[in-house]
A and B are shown apart, each in its own frame.
Chain A
Amino acid sequence: MPDVFPPDTVRCDACPVLCYIKRGHAGACDRYANVEGQLVRVDPHILLDRAKSQGTPLVPFLEREGDWDGKIMKGQETFVTAIGAGTTYPDYKPAPFIVSSEVEGVDMVTVVTEGIFSYCGVKLKIDTDRHLGPERNLVRAQGEPVGHVTTAEYGSQMLSLGGVHHLTGGSKSEGRVTCETLLDLCNGKEVELTIDDGASVRVAAGKPPVVNGQQEERMRVGCGSATIGMFAKQWFGKVDDVVVVDDHITGVLSEHQAGKLLGVRETGIAIQGRRSTPGRYFQVAEPGTGWGGTNISDPLTILKPFKPKFAWPHLRLLMVSTTGEQFAYYELDETLRPVEKELPETLKESVGRIRENCEPALTTVLFMGGAGGSLRAGVTENPVKLTDSVKRKLTRVTCGGAPAYIWPGGGITFMVDVTRMPENAFGYVPTPALVAPIEFTLKKDDYAVLGGHVDYVRPLVDVLKEKERQRQLVSHAQNPWPLKPHAGSSES
């Protein structure tokens, strides 16, 4: 029988069923799987081992092997995350794991639970100057509204997705699709979004965004005006005028303060759009996915004719976008009409430098949620004391071991970078709501003071003995170690 199976089929010998498991599939038990031709055990509850040094990658250990004593010695270097820990919703019973450990001579307690968040969403920062759509317009997934375009930030377009209204306030399928979209984004999967009267984007946490089918490579170096300021000196003498095309602020070297200071000769160049201050123009075109986040593909369309009063034949003009991805070089003919020519060697360096100074364009996904009533009740009998303790930074909040930023003001409303969390840390319930891991770490003394479920505190070594269903990962090298005493909770 085995001869007829594909070569990467493995035979599992973990039990007498002796399943043949094909690559990418699991055996009858769903606990052993064939991953890349290897028999691997798939277990859910995630524990983190403290990364030994900076730069240690997040590497899954397939199974904790062998000698227990060694592990117990290392107990304080293990953090029990909430991923796969389970939840107490909708109950007031203590959180599934309340774990004590001694760290640097201090008794610490970590309360571990998976929270069910109806009040939650993601903030997407998409590094692009391309116009994705008008602010306040709806963002859709599978045709359903899942969020909106919010105020643009430096070099980035911002989308706000999810929230209680899309999750529970709209139609059944709006809630379902919103939940799926949030889940996929939080788990690092790619999601396709369309913006009303705008672009279609494919985004995934930590990956370059794809706008209308085109992958973004680089963030812009600055606005058009800033680019003039940064590179004016390198252009001086090599070219007579430079226009940096930008949807926000297009810059013109000969008029710009930076050009004036260098003594760049006036060219009388006239630009479409609204002049803000000398050499700085707003609204040179419509927003779009062309040059510098405008809708233009031919930059000459933003220039008015050159006037003989100022301009001269053979005037050298560079037009470039804020990322250096688009550029064109022109010289004026005898009738003062620009004629495109090959970019001279002397200018290639500056255009290259614009590109070089542009950081890689990424999509970042911040999960934002509010830790409400029943979740806090799993920590303490007096929930407001937990809020107070978090605010006073006596209690640190982490999500799957990743630091959470706590918003000032009421409640425990937090944000976390999903790429700092272990893979597939999020789940969902069809309520619909997202399930996210959340851990509260504080000194054991403080835990007693805030009315914690001290009778349910279990030593870390006991938890480690429950080898079943546990999986250990190395903590993310950039995350502060969640158990370290006395650090604030909002330092991320």
Chain B
Amino acid sequence: MREPAVIRMLPDGRRLHLHDGPIDLIIEASGTPQAISTAYKAAARRFVSILDELCSELPLLRNQAQKNSERPRGAVAQRMFAAVEPYCELCFITPMAAVAGAVAETILDSMLAVAPLDRAYVNDGGDIAIHLNENQSYKIGMVERPDRPSLFGSLEISAADPVRGIATSGWRGRSFSLGIADAVTVLADRASQADAAATIIANAVDLPGHPLIVRLPANELQPDSDLGARLVTRDLGALGENEVEQALRAGANQAQQLFAAGLIEGAALRLLGETVGVGTMGIATRALPALHGSAIQGTMHV
């Protein structure tokens, strides 16, 4: 039975919650009441058809992206493809690696097209598209383990920064990862770019062949996974300090290359309590007070 999409204001009266299938968006806009209302209506209108649009091309979007691949037709799917294209000759990647960021971006654009907003964000399960007018900024908290949420770092993004997209990837998250990072948070110009890059960097945080890493073929876990029989990380034993450093260094090298290529603005890589930062964005990774459960969704990004 198909569940209808959920469109509702959260109890705080400020944020809009949109939910359909695996897509769950928390949206907040600042501006005049009139502008917010117009923007939220536009977001909801755009939202209701997005899942069907994506699903109509799902087999294509689950296939490896290659230079000569058939291009998808949908607007969101095209953003996905564009975001993963820079990686398609380096490694295996499918457009699905950028789906969350592309959805966030699309919804944000639909809002900005109809209303002037001071600032706004669309948070798609941790992959966030943001809009900032002059002199505006957002404070971002970073979470490493969605099952046990707490902030491991924070950063501030202001209008003068080029960053308009933030995404987090890791093996403990909802999507599978080929690497062992608890969380890789990436800042990029667009949310879809951040989403794809976070996937690539999180995959690179790894210790190939290490006996304490439990890996299983993705399709044994999710029969229709876009990763096929590739081994995805399912559990991680207690690694030594040197090993943690080695894995983080591998990921940081990858991040450094993406940074040099202009694909990202910065990244924070987190593994077993250790953090490394890459890029010019100052990411404060001191320990911050922790949050729990459903509270996290409301508080992780404001």
Contact = CB atoms under 8 A, between A and B. Distances in A.
B148 A430 contact: yes
B6 A468 contact: yes
The residue among B1, B19, B221, B292 with the most chain A CB atoms within 10 A of its own CB is B292
B294 A15 contact: no
Given A20-B224, A86-B298, A428-B148, A15 B290 contact: no
B258 to A, nearest CB: 26
Interface in B18-59: 19-22, 24, 51-52, 55, 58
A114 interface: yes
Given A15-B51, A435-B292, A427 B148 contact: yes
A340 interface: no
A172 interface: yes
Contact of A17 (B6, B22, B145, B220): B22
Interface stretch (A22-30, A103-111, A218-226, A406-414): A22-30
B55 A44 contact: no
Contacts of B51: 15-17
A302 interface: no
A87 B21 contact: no
B224 A86 contact: no
Interface in A421-435: 427-431, 433, 435
A13 B21 CA distance: 9
A469 B273 CA distance: 30
A13 B1 contact: yes
B2 A429 contact: no
Contact of B21 (A15, A44, A458, A468): A15
Given A90-B289, A172-B273, A429 B150 contact: yes
B1 A116 contact: no
A45 interface: yes
Given A16-B21, A429-B150, A28 B293 contact: no
Given A16-B52, A17-B21, A89 B291 contact: yes
A84 interface: yes
A131 B208 CA distance: 46
A345 to B, nearest CB: 56
A429 B58 contact: no
Given A86-B294, A114-B295, A14 B2 contact: yes
Contact of A30 (B174, B221, B295): B174
Nearest to B1: A13
A273 interface: no
Contacts of B78: none
Interface string A451-464: 00000001000000
A100 interface: no
Nearest to B295: A86
Contact of B290 (A30, A88, A433): A433
Nearest to A172: B273
Chain A CB count within 10 A is highest, among B22, B51, B273, B287, for B22
A430 B152 CA distance: 9
A27 B175 CA distance: 10
Given A19-B224, A20-B224, A13 B292 contact: no
A180 B192 CA distance: 36
B55 A431 contact: no
Contact of A468 (B19, B223, B287, B293): B19
Contacts of B149: 429
Contacts of A25: 221-222
Contact of A430 (B2, B55, B220, B290): B290
B293 A427 contact: yes
Nearest to B55: A16
A45 B24 CA distance: 17
A480 interface: no
Nearest to A9: B223
A68 interface: no
A154 interface: no
Nearest to B3: A14
Contacts of B294: 44-45, 84-86, 469
A466 interface: yes
A96 interface: yes
Contact of A20 (B20, B223, B298): B223
Nearest to A12: B21
B291 to A, nearest CB: 7
Nearest to A113: B295
Contact of A5 (B11, B223, B291): B223
A28 B222 contact: yes
B224 to A, nearest CB: 5
B221 A15 contact: no
Interface in A60-113: 84-90, 96
Interface of B: 1-3, 6, 8, 11, 17, 19-22, 24, 51-52, 55, 58, 145, 148-150, 174, 220-224, 273, 287, 289-296, 298
Interface of A: 1, 4-5, 9, 13-22, 25, 27-30, 44-45, 84-90, 96, 114, 116, 172, 427-431, 433, 435, 458, 466, 468-469
Given A13-B2, A116-B292, A428-B148, 17 more contacts: A5-B223, A15-B3, A16-B21, A17-B55, A18-B55, A20-B222, A22-B221, A29-B21, A30-B22, A427-B292, A429-B149, A429-B291, A430-B148, A430-B150, A430-B273, A431-B290, A435-B292
24 contacts: A4-B223, A15-B2, A15-B3, A15-B20, A15-B22, A17-B22, A17-B58, A18-B55, A20-B224, A22-B220, A27-B222, A29-B24, A44-B294, A84-B293, A84-B294, A86-B293, A86-B298, A87-B291, A89-B290, A89-B292, A114-B295, A116-B290, A172-B273, A435-B292
